[in-house]
Structure formats: structure tokens, C-alpha cells
Amino acid sequence: MAIDETVRQHKYTLDESEMPTAWYNIIPDLPSPPPPPLHPGTHEPVGPEDLMPLFPMALIMQEVSQDRYIEIPGAVQDIYRQWRPSPLFRAHKLEKALDTPARIYYKYEGVSPAGSHKTNTSVPQAYYNAVEGITKLTTETGAGQWGTALAFACALFGLECEIWQVGASYDAKPYRRLMMEAFGGEVHRSPSDLTAAGRML
């Protein structure tokens, strides 16, 4: 086998000064707006009042915003800088294996404290809830990545975090549960006799 001695650039990183200060909202650039979400009970388009029990108003307003760019709060930008900009890699060997002229790149988000890209949304969600006076967030998680990301974000803003994890993953991935708990999350196996639905199973 011939060994390729070519030296290439594999990793691309931005300077922190090049990080975006706004989120891009694709809605204004679509040819037509997506249909509105429907209320599960009435099958009518949901309004802000339907979403208020679930989301802080700032996130509801972002959901319906027609602005192309939405400013990232300074506190969120500061937290992002703990691990972002995350590196971009070029997959030279995959390109060669596929015998393609295409350039293939992938973003590595495992550098975040929770180990996934999910902190990119858990941090602002926890931030906006904290700003509006919410003191506890409750969520579900499958393998545990989302639960870990939200537990991490809640810890940053002094929020309690209760997590319901799919039973099979809860049993098979004890270290993921320990990570959620290390960030202050209270983790329950689901289904559970702690809920009416769980007790019926």
C-alpha cells in the first residue's frame, strides 16, 4: 500500500471575535411561511396564550418572529465562549474513500461541557426562563444528551432541573444519568410510579 505523505489542513477554527452575535431565522427567506402549529385539542392554530404554560414569552416571540436575525443575549454569548467556536474538520479520507471531487466538512460539537450540540439551545432556553422568573424546568430525555444539556444550562442560571429518562437508556447508560445528576439534575426512570400515566402501565 502506498502511503500518502501529503500534509493537509484538517481543522478550521474561528477566533472568538468572529462568533455570531445573532441567530439566523430562516422564516423570512422561505418562499412561503410554514403552516402554524395546531392546538392538539381544538386543531386550530395556537396563539401565544396556548404556549405560555410551556415557554417563556421571549421564546414564543422568537417562534413567530419575522426578523431575519435575533440578537443573542450577552449572557448567552459569554457562556457559548466556554467551548465555541467549535472546530470544523475536513474529511479528507472520506472524500478519498468515496472517490469524490466534493469537499466534505463536519462540525465537532463534542467540545461542549455536555458533550453535544444540544447546549446550543439548552443554554438560551434556561436563560430566557430564568429572566422571566421560572425556577424549575422539567424535561424528557432519551439517551440522556438533552437531559445532560438542560441540567448543565439550569445549573448556570440557578434553576432546578427534573428529568424523565426513557427506562431502557436509564438502565443501560448509568454514567449519563450520573452526569445529569452531577450538573444538579433530578433524574427519574420513565415510565415511573411517580406519575399517573406511569402507574397505569
User: For 96-116, how does the pLDDT look when each residue is reduced to its tens digit (9 = 90+)?
Assistant: 999 999 999 999 999 999 999
Structural domains present in the chain: 120-200 (3.40.50.1100)
Per-residue pLDDT at 2: 79
pLDDT digits (tens, 9 = 90+) for 58-93: 999 999 899 999 999 999 999 999 999 999 999 999
Element (H, E) at 121: helix 119-131
Q: Are 127 and 75 in contact (CB under 8 A)?
A: yes
Cis check: omega of the bond before 85, within 30 degrees of 0: yes
Task: For CA atoms 181, 186, 191, 192, give the dihedral sign.
Answer: positive
CB atoms within 10 A of CB 192: 15
Of the chain, the percentage scoring pLDDT greater than 70 comes to 100
**pTM for the full predicted model:** 0.90
Residue 1 has pLDDT above 80, yes or no: no
Binning pLDDT at 50, 70 and 90, where does residue 196 land?
confident
Question: Under 8 Å CB-to-CB from 172, ≥6 apart: which residues?
Answer: none
Phi, psi of 176, deg, nearest 5: -65, -40
